[in-house]
Amino acid sequence: MDIRIFDSHEALDKAASEVMVELARSKERPVFGLATGGTPVGIYQALIQVFSEERLSLKHALAFNLDEYVGLPPSHSQSYAYYMLQHLFGHVDMPPDQRHIPDGMARDPHQECLRYDQLLAEAGRIDLQLLGLGHNGHIGFNEPGRGLERGTHVVSLQEETREANARFFSEMEEVPKQAITMGMGTILQARMILLVVKGKDKADVLSSALTGPITTELPASLLQTHPHLLVMADREAGAQL
């Protein structure tokens, strides 16, 4: 495990974007695993800037997002499809049919999970999986519990997760109760994982995840088993490491 602590978000975002740029440069058909939430916004901004300055292309890249809310259409401002368009996909040249996000509006969400896993299988392993960290230790929307699922599945969001994400909605009632998420098995199969964590409210959970027991009650702790885990944290989040 490689842990890097940064004094500024600017430096962290730039360093994280460089890892992604490096992959885009070194592989003809890179497969990116992408994340949403507040944490990666600056990374995507830095990435867009480098791509335009250095005229890099993502024309042959594939992208798979971790998750999507059930019941939110891509036109909804809080859907992850909308987020990705705003923060990354609308600014790079990756063709739409190469960027994948679970369909939160699928008539049968369980069928949608199978479809997503099929696409992932066809793409081969994810080269670089970008991850944020939930306050309760969730990864994607793999919530703490007695067990974790290997593949893409429908989850009922914990109240803590809904409350943490309520800041993006006008009222708590609007926060979806379910989501579709890539499973922990798929995430751990990625060739490399880049976990990015910001803010003092994540210091406890980050330290437990990286130095405490490996348990499904703290999904991020499973990342300790990954052979190529890079953690980038700001001073506040890394305070207890």
Is 138 a residue of the active site? yes
Show the CA angle centred on residue 3, arms to residues 128 and 15, nearest 5°.
60
* CA 63 from centre of chain: 11
> Containing H/E element for 230?
strand 229-234
Dist. CA 140–CA 224, nearest whole Å: 16
**Of residues 140 and 238, the one with the C-beta less far from ligand GLP:** 140
Is residue 183 a contact residue for ligand GLP (CB under 6 A)?
no
143 catalytic? Reply is yes
Catalytic residue among 18, 91, 100, 136: 136
Task: Say which of 13, 103, 117, 143 is annotated catalytic.
Answer: 143
Instruction: Scan residues 7-46 and list those touching ligand GLP (CB under 6 A).
Output: 35-39
First to last CA, the chain: 13
How do 178-181 and 153-156 pair as beta strands? antiparallel
Sign of CA dihedral 203, 209, 215, 220: positive
Q: Applying CB under 6 A, does 133 fall inside the site for ligand GLP? A: yes
Question: Footprint of ligand GLP on residues 139-158 (CB under 6 A)?
Answer: 140-141
Nearer to ligand GLP, 30 or 132 (CB): 132
The reply to whether 67 belongs to the active site is: yes
Nearest distance from C-beta of residue 57 to ligand GLP, angstroms: 27
Is 124 near ligand GLP (CB under 6 A)? no
At residue 65, what are phi and psi to the nearest 5 degrees? -80, 155
Q: Which residues bind ligand GLP (CB under 6 A)?
A: 35-39, 66-67, 132-134, 140-141, 161, 165
Catalytic residues: 67, 136, 138, 143
